[in-house]
Structure 1
Amino acid sequence: MTRYTASAAAALAVLFAVVPGRALAHVRYVTPGDGGERAVELLAAVVADPLALALLLGGGAGAVVTGAGWLRFRPFRLDLAVLRQTLRSYDDLLPWLARLAIGLPMVGAGFTGYLFSPAATADFLGVPGALVRLFGIGVGFLLVFGFATRLTAAVGLLGYLVGLALSPALLLAFEFVPGLLAILLLGGGRPSADHVFSRLSAVGGTVYQRIDPVRETLAPVGERLADRDELVPVIVRVGLGFSFVYLGVVQKLLMPGQALSVVAKYNLTEVVPVSPELWVVGAALTEAALGIALALGLFTRAGCGVAILMFTTTLFGLPDDPVMAHVSLFGLVSMLVITGGGAYSVDRWLAERFDDDTDVQQREDEPAPTAD
């Protein structure tokens, strides 16, 4: 009975997580202005509806029961331990994945004429459009090809901070901050132009080795940054967590007008027949809860799976939402699928407590069964 209840609660929680969550994520991209509704009015409408309260409380309780039940019974323990070890074996692909996750949307932003976020166009920022385009295209292409990767990431991060000073709207694309910081630590990796040139520079007698002007100067800096690459999953999950909480709390609960406009524009109440106010509050609480879980490193890979499902739902559910605006999110979440919660995470503490990886090692050391 306990397992059945946990499964039913999980289904309800997934319904409220997947359907409304990212369908309202970047609402400024697809709706103009603010409808003028206030957070107090939004919450009052939900509190006054017994069905809405029951669904919200049931979804929250279902998520808690599901998590507690998982920790209590821990099904598929060995299978998941093998899966975690296999995913961690792909960590050599992290620099390439991070570069594509940040470089490709920056190229797209440059060609389209906005800075990181579709909400931050050149006119909105009050800067020349050519400058915005050259910045996005230049930084993006250098990151994709992995040329002067760490220096390029630093320039990209500086550009984001300058843009944020001009317009707080860039907080809608805060995921670029952890992405660029991760690239600073990881470097270009392989395949990348930096890897090719490093090989040329490392072999004595090559023409490039004799004319390379920066190897001796910058190599020690890169090595010191690479020594802290264990912080990459921490930076990515905390940055993504902040982004989710900001989108849920600030953009929806505190400024509900635009989110309600999305519900009306796409007739989302026909998809799930609940009130528009419940749609917005459910989406806000889902994103905030997911963001907190990611920041804490709690069920990190499971949370990433929910996030990927939410992103995919958005791409099909909101045809006006720019596809390039989600590439960075897809890429950074995929990085966490590989790394897991990493250091300073609840997941790490749970893994050490239950010794899951030790179980896998013991099974690997056992002789393979033979046929009689």
Structure 2
Amino acid sequence: MELHKPPPRPRQPEGCLTVAIRIPLRIVVLVLVVPVRMAWDALVVAGRLVRDTVLRPFGRALLWVGRAVFVWPFVGLWRYVLVPTGRALAWLGAVLVVVPAVWFHRHVLTPVGHAVAWLARGVGAGLAWLHARVLRPIAHAVTWLLKGIGAVLAAVGVGGYTAVARLARYLFVVPAHWLYARVLAPVGRAVAWCVRGLGWLVGMVATGIGLALYWTLRVLFVLPALALWRWVLAPVGRFLALVAREAGDALGHAWRIAGRISRAVGRALGTLLRWIFVEPVRWIYRSVLTPVGHVVRDAVLRPAAAGARVLGRAVREALTSARDTVRQARADFRRMLFGERGQQVAVDRRELGGGGARTLEQRVGRDMSPPTRG
């Protein structure tokens, strides 16, 4: 599936200032970047060589040592010490704690809990009967008695209550209403109007001061800053942005070109080293050392090896003859001192006369055969 690439952006027309800045800048940057890129490529090659020949084997050795010192002992400790110990402790805890606890809960706590629950239900039933049969009737009786006393008191004190209410109304309610309507309400309205007027006056004064400060600050700071930004800083910033962009493009272009130059120089140096050292050494090995080695092998080493084998065989035979001679002389000396050994008497071992060994079937058949009469 092909991805649809966005269409390239149309290039904007460039002015003479851009071109005049770009070409010298690229030349200068290329001259400055080529040594840096070549040094960088040399450092990269040296770093890769050190990584492949020193750091990677050293890291593998450190990894193996770390495993041998830290990982494997802990693995062995976990696998062969802690896990069996944990299993033994778990079994011991189950036997010493869990099983007795289950038995205690099942045969002691459960019956005691049932007994306590039955006792609590009995006490609750007794308290409910006491509430329903004793306390509730007493409470109803007290309530009925208090209601009767309240009704009697109300019937007796109706006239006195009416006189007290009228007296309180003319002494407190009517003067308070008149004071609120005739004094407090007009005074409050006047105070509110004064406060509103004072607020409007303060607002107008604050507005005037704010407008004066606004225009003063605008004339003294904002307009000069705006003019400075519009007519000085913005053009200088655009110029610096153009220079920075062109410098970045020139640096990238010079870095790529320096990479190609560095690659070409590296290939040339490699070819030169191969022509100066590798090819002569290869030619010497192939054209001189190999034929000389073959001649030395065929003319010197193989005859010397054959001669050494013949000499070794002769030495072994001489040693064998000497060993036999010494053995014979030792036998003659022993015979001279002690004489000949006695002849051993042949004993009938009931063995077969033939060369073959007697088998179990032959022996069993011979033993079970009937004896012959003489």
TM-score range, shorter chain: under 0.3
More helix per residue: 1 or 2? Answer: 2
TM-score (ref. length: structure 1)? 0.14
TM-score (ref. length: structure 2)? 0.14
